[in-house]
Amino acid sequence: MQQSECSAGVLAVASLREYFHDALHGALAHQHVAVEDQTEQYVVNLLTLFSRSEHLYEQTADGVRLKPLVQMLSEALEAPTAAGRELGLQRLGDVSLFIAGFFAHSFARKLIDIDYHIAMGGRAYGTLADGLVRGHRRVLGRVFAELAVKFLPLVDALGEISDAARRYTQADVLRLYELWLKTGSPRAQGLLRRLGIEAAPVTMLAN
């Protein structure tokens, strides 16, 4: 894949990009997740791009913020051109992956949780892939297809990068358990084990 296919507009800060490359490569290896080189490159470019808040947040009528995912999906599906639809779906997938990976702990006590972002992002990438794999951009289509299939493992890998400097409180431990219940995340289960907790599903008692 040519670099321009998946990294247009990426911030050209070599040291930051190298950091994300090394961190992601290590996290994927630690999580035993194998992805194609083009897919890994795409995620590194994404992390580098979104490290600048002006690329992550958008100017809206309510100020600079992230649009709700359902609004992003609606705008993508209602786009007047195929190119606009593709860009909308790509942004939905990109934002969902980044937020679910780096800000999973911030979802606690919110109505929309990480599993919603995983579902929306994975479907956006999958829909995007379906429209590309049979055309002249089939290589890029395969990248989006792999992102769709491995969305949760990639969220776990990004979460490991985010957690590198994190110290867990009791509230964090409860949140990790909640994440494991909601998503089945192997990373969350592994962290709980390292903290001395063997995760087990909740059993509902019959009346």
Clarify whether residues 140 and 83 are in a common domain.
yes
Name the band, by pLDDT with cuts 50, 70 and 90, for residue 200. low
Clarify whether residues 87 and 145 are in a common domain.
yes
Clarify whether residues 70 and 117 are in a common domain.
yes
Q: Are 159 and 180 in contact (CB under 8 A)?
A: no
Clarify whether residues 202 and 145 are in a common domain.
no
pLDDT per position as a tens digit, 88-144? 999 999 999 999 988 876 665 554 678 889 999 999 999 999 988 776 788 899 999
Clarify whether residues 65 and 100 are in a common domain.
yes
Clarify whether residues 175 and 123 are in a common domain.
no
Q: Is the pLDDT of residue 2 over 70?
A: no
pLDDT per position as a tens digit, 3-22? 444 444 444 444 678 888 99
Clarify whether residues 158 and 172 are in a common domain.
no
Clarify whether residues 117 and 174 are in a common domain.
no
Name the band, by pLDDT with cuts 50, 70 and 90, for residue 173. low
Clarify whether residues 67 and 132 are in a common domain.
yes
Overall domain count for the chain: 2
Clarify whether residues 129 and 43 are in a common domain.
yes
> The tokens 């606690």 sit on which residue?
108
Nearest to 36 by CA among 73, 1, 80: 1
Q: Are 98 and 72 in contact (CB under 8 A)?
A: no
Residue 79 tokens read as: 């786009």
Clarify whether residues 126 and 199 are in a common domain.
no
Which residues form the domain of 86? 3-166
What phi and psi, each to the nearest 5 degrees, are found at residue 63?
105, -170
> The tokens 């309510």 sit on which residue?
62
pLDDT per position as a tens digit, 29-59? 998 999 999 999 999 999 999 988 888 888 7
Q: Are 141 and 132 in contact (CB under 8 A)?
A: yes
- Please give the model's pTM, rounded to 2 decimal places: 0.73
Residue 163 tokens read as: 């957690």
* Residue 65, helix vs strand vs coil: strand
Clarify whether residues 154 and 171 are in a common domain.
no
pLDDT at 198: 67
H helices of the chain, in order, are 3-6, 14-30, 37-50, 53-56, 69-77, 82-102, 114-132, 138-149, 151-162, 170-183, 186-194
pLDDT at 166: 59
CA atoms of 155 and 153, how far apart (whole Å): 5
pLDDT at 197: 64
Q: Is the pLDDT of residue 64 over 50?
A: yes
Mean pLDDT of the chain: 81
